[in-house]
Amino acid sequence: MSISVGDKLPDVTLVKATADGPDKVQSSDYFAGKKVALFSVPGAFTPTCSAKHLPGFVEKASELKAKGIDEIACTAVNDAFVMGAWGQRDGSGDVTMLADGNGDFAQAVGLTMDGSGFGLGQRGSRWSMVVNDGVVEQLNVEAPGEFKVSTAEYLLDQI
């Protein structure tokens, strides 16, 4: 069963990619007391994720923050080193890269996909949400193969 609007995020360990290396964070601590625009991609460096999804949030960061978003974060079932390298190449200081290396967070929120046909195995699906003090306020889950409702632009229209 997937997470819904009004649900509290599960408490799972994620790994924040930082300039000093991987930094483990508990989701309950990370999302406490702030409003976060969180989005998930099937994989760092993959075509849609690199060409559209992450760049959209980088481009719209100031607009999201002007509408009350305290932080923007991207999660994927990748390790912190990959997420860090992707953030350095395509991201910005406005987007925190949260590695979900074992897929624990994706499984806990019930938003997974089977990417085995592409050699990716089990991954987090493509979605965006607004999390306010650990509670889901908005949730936009893409249909398989689509890129419409998880964009930064779509999320901006909801805030």
Q: Which residues are catalytic?
A: 49
Q: Calculate the dihedral angle through the C-alpha atoms of 42, 43, 46, 47, rounding to the nearest 10 degrees.
A: 30
Question: In which residue are the tokens 């460096």 written?
Answer: 45
- Token pair, residue 107, equals 């499984």
Report the SS3 class of residue 99: strand
Question: In which residue are the tokens 């624990």 written?
Answer: 104
Q: Which residues of 20-30 are buried (b: 16+ CB within 10 A; e: fewer)?
A: eebeebebeeb
